[in-house]
Amino acid sequence: MDLYSLRGPYAETLYEPHVALRCREAVHGGVMKEQAAPATRVAYIGGAGRSGSTVLALLLAQVPGFVAVGGLSNIWERGLRDNYLCGCGAHFEDCPFWNDVGNEAFGSWRDLDLDEVLRLRLEVARYRHVPSLLAPNVRRGFAGRFDTYADYMAALYRAVATVSGSTVVVDNSHDLPPALILRRTPGIRSQVIHLIRDSRGVAFSVSKSVLRAEATASRSYMTRFSATEASGLWLLANGLYHVIPKRSLPRLVVHYEALVASPTKEISRVAKFLGEELSTSDLAAFGGDSIEVAENHMISGNPHRLERRQMSLRLDEEWRRKMSPRDRRLVTLLTLPLALPYGYVGSRRR
């Protein structure tokens, strides 16, 4: 029975996401009984932006039972509000996959209070809220907002898994707050892949003017950052992982450079971390210089996910040739506390 087709004394209660989505229930003789549902598995790709998370997500999408959906925490703005292009090439509101997800999760996207979700996201899922996310019951009122937003996200992940028929949802939102939310969300079993790229490569990438190909309503560009700003963002995005114990946030470190150089080895390692043992035939897809990319429904991420059928696996080190010496020295100096142990500076250079 579809919960959202129920009428009667329970209908209004069930229609509230933060009530209905804790668990699925069924009516037996007029009595509501809880039914335990299996946890939705999520592979969350974290780290700094422009570190290759879209590449990793597309690679993982080749693994049987895995589905990549882009940065799912951005779906509220980029999908529902701004109607960006989906990875399949259709606009969000015209994509059959996302329409089915909305129907499964909320009855319909039209039944969702988007303003409320966007408000909750600002109040819960930002870096300034990390201390509260680590201890949500400390701040008065935060726990309630957290629970409500977490239920919206749980409904979304669960619907993606159901509609796609997949066992693992790959989310490359990359920011830390959504990863912390997932760890405390009932019905979700998440594991983090901490993807790291040389800070100079990231800084050079975010300094460039890049057209948002998925934003078709008007000409729009990705946000650009100076060398100093990029260094700070890189340190924040990666450094917090060294503060949070692994027992609180299980994770695996993957370097972008190693991923592109040895995709078969790295994807095998990631799959094993996620509890999957890949066969020789499964890994054969990663053995060449490029891979076939199946149709994807990634709602945000690097524009090269759009209607892509082939993806070259080559190391993007344009920064070594085109980054100004001044910016290169500045980023190296500012990010040294992490770049050095990561092996990007000195004798351990990757």
Assign a CATH topology to domain 38-348. Answer: Rossmann fold (3.40.50)
What pLDDT, on a 0 to 100 scale, did the predictor assign at position 9?
30
What pLDDT, on a 0 to 100 scale, did the predictor assign at position 18?
39
pLDDT band at 311 (very low <50, low <70, confident <90, very high): confident
Question: pLDDT at residue 322 above 70?
Answer: yes
Question: pLDDT at residue 5 above 90?
Answer: no
What pLDDT, on a 0 to 100 scale, did the predictor assign at position 173?
95
Q: What is the mean pLDDT of residues 65-82?
A: 95
- Across the chain, mean pLDDT equals 86
Question: pLDDT at residue 20 above 80?
Answer: no
Q: What is the mean pLDDT of residues 98-105?
A: 98
- Please write down the HEC assignment for all residues of the chain: CCHHHCCCCCHHHHCCHHHHCCCEEEEECCEEEEECCCCEEEEEEECCCCCCHHHHHHHHCCCCCEEECCCHHHHHHHHHHCCCECCCCCEHHHCHHHHHHHHHHHCCHHHCCHHHHHHHHHHHCCHHHHHHHHCCCCCCCHHHHHHHHHHHHHHHHHHHHHHHCCCEEEEEEECHHHHHHHHCCCCEEEEEEEEECCHHHHHHHHHCCCECCCCCCCCCECCCCCHHHHHHHHHHHHHHHHCCCCCCCCEEEEEHHHHHHCHHHHHHHHHHHCCCCCCHHHHHHHCCCEEECCCCCCCCCCHHHCCCCEEECCCCCCHHHHCCHHHHHHHHHHCHHHHCCCCCCHHHCC
Question: pLDDT at residue 305 above 80?
Answer: no
pLDDT tens-digit map of 139-190: 889 999 999 999 999 999 999 999 999 999 999 999 999 999 999 999 999 9
pLDDT band at 90 (very low <50, low <70, confident <90, very high): very high
What pLDDT, on a 0 to 100 scale, did the predictor assign at position 31?
39
pLDDT tens-digit map of 32-55: 344 567 899 999 999 999 999 999
Question: pLDDT at residue 333 above 80?
Answer: yes
- Which of 7-11, 95-99, 203-207 bottoms out in mean pLDDT, i.e. has the lowest? 7-11
Question: pLDDT at residue 109 above 50?
Answer: yes
What pLDDT, on a 0 to 100 scale, did the predictor assign at position 29?
38
Q: What is the mean pLDDT of residues 109-137?
A: 94
| 121 vs 119: CA distance, rounded Å | 5
- Which of 192-196, 248-252, 296-300 bottoms out in mean pLDDT, i.e. has the lowest? 296-300
Q: What is the mean pLDDT of residues 296-323?
A: 81
Instruction: Assess contact for 215 and 314: CB atoms under 8 A.
Output: no
Query: Taking the domains of the chain in order of start, what are their residue ranges?
Result: 38-348
